């Protein structure tokens, strides 16, 4: 718990502002949708009274949902959130709604089960928040370790026909932090849409053919690459200062497959490669999707 408090204490004011707005919206939505603002619903003939723990539980869940959602914004490189991550706030909101709502003539959950479901929703959200903060902590530590590491290795995974001249070492420069979003209100709207919308956890990717001439590029940091990458992939960090120069040394008419951790950095890398004149670059998204689409195994650096 002390680690959780420590990590939350390092949050910026922008994150806390987003969390406060999301918590207020979630609380108002749950109270209104569940009928907790009244003690009886005469129109439905349902004189139910909220349990003593209902409103406190909604407050706690709303706060936890807000912090989980806020952890998706302005994340350090390597801790990118995906649409799949939105399932935890959604599950938490659905759970607390079913545990506290008073509008149904025949509630889905019986009275003895409701506090158990509410407790499960709180536990799930605490776990989700701890997981997000732990992921950010690991990503930050990896960046620090990466910046302190001596350059080594190389682009030896590239086929000889497309290996750039002078590219004897893999880039290990310190990546720049993503700039914070300029509009807090827009961020809040997007975050609420992600929480309350129904999004597919992992869309099915079309198969990507990888031939002997295909160059698979991992645009994550060197530390992420070393922890696990697609077999045969070359690491060119899209956040490094030398990305354009190193990629620009490759043949523009070659075949390339680009991936990252979640699909955010790979999409940016594909656009930059297109600007450099590359004509056959496929965005494979995150490493899990890329593994499924290409059929390449994930291996760790020796």
**Predicted local distance difference test score (pLDDT) of residue 123:** 93
Which CATH number applies to 160-299: 3.40.50.1110, 3.40.250.10, 3.40.50.300, 1.10.3720.10?
3.40.250.10
Angle among Cα 62, 67, 72 to the nearest 5 degrees reads: 130
pLDDT band at 49 (very low <50, low <70, confident <90, very high): low
pLDDT in tens, 181-239: 444 444 444 444 444 443 334 444 579 999 999 999 999 999 999 999 999 999 999 99
Domain map of the chain by residue range?
2-145, 160-299
Whether 159 contacts 215, CB under 8 Å: yes
Most confident of 3-7, 8-12, 72-76, 159-163: 8-12
What is the maximum span of the chain, computed from C-alpha positions, in angstroms? 79
pLDDT band at 35 (very low <50, low <70, confident <90, very high): confident
Task: Give CA–CA dist 143/26, Å, rounded.
Answer: 34
């Amino acid at each position: 718990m002390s680690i959780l408090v420590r990590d939350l204490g390092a949050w910026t004011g922008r994150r806390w502002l987003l969390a406060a707005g999301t918590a207020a919206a979630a609380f108002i939505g749950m109270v209104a949708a569940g009928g907790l603002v009244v003690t009886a619903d005469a129109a439905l003939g349902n004189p139910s009274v909220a349990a003593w723990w209902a409103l406190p539980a909604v407050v706690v869940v709303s706060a936890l949902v807000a912090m989980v959602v806020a952890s998706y914004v302005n994340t350090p490189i390597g801790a990118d959130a995906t649409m799949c991550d939105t399932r935890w706030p959604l599950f938490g909101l659905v759970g607390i709604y079913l545990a506290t709502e008073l509008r149904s003539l025949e509630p889905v959950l019986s009275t003895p089960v409701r506090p158990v479901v509410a407790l499960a929703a709180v536990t799930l959200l605490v776990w989700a928040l701890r997981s997000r903060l732990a992921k950010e902590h690991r990503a930050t530590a990896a960046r620090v370790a990466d910046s302190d590491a001596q350059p080594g290795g190389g682009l030896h995974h590239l086929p000889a026909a497309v290996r750039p001249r002078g590219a004897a070492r893999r880039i290990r420069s310190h990546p720049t932090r993503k700039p914070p979003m300029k509009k807090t209100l827009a961020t809040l709207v997007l975050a609420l849409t992600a929480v309350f919308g129904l999004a597919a956890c992992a869309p099915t990717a079309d198969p990507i053919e990888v031939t002997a001439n295909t160059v698979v590029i991992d645009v994550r940091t060197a530390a992420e690459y070393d922890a696990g990458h697609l077999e045969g992939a070359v690491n060119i960090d899209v956040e490094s200062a030398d990305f354009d120069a190193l990629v620009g040394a490759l043949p523009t008419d070659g075949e390339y497959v680009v991936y990252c951790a979640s699909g955010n950095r790979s999409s940016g890398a594909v656009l930059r490669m297109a600007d450099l004149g590359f004509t056959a670059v496929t965005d494979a998204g995150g490493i899990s999707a890329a593994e499924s689409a290409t059929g390449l195994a994930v291996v760790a650096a020796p």
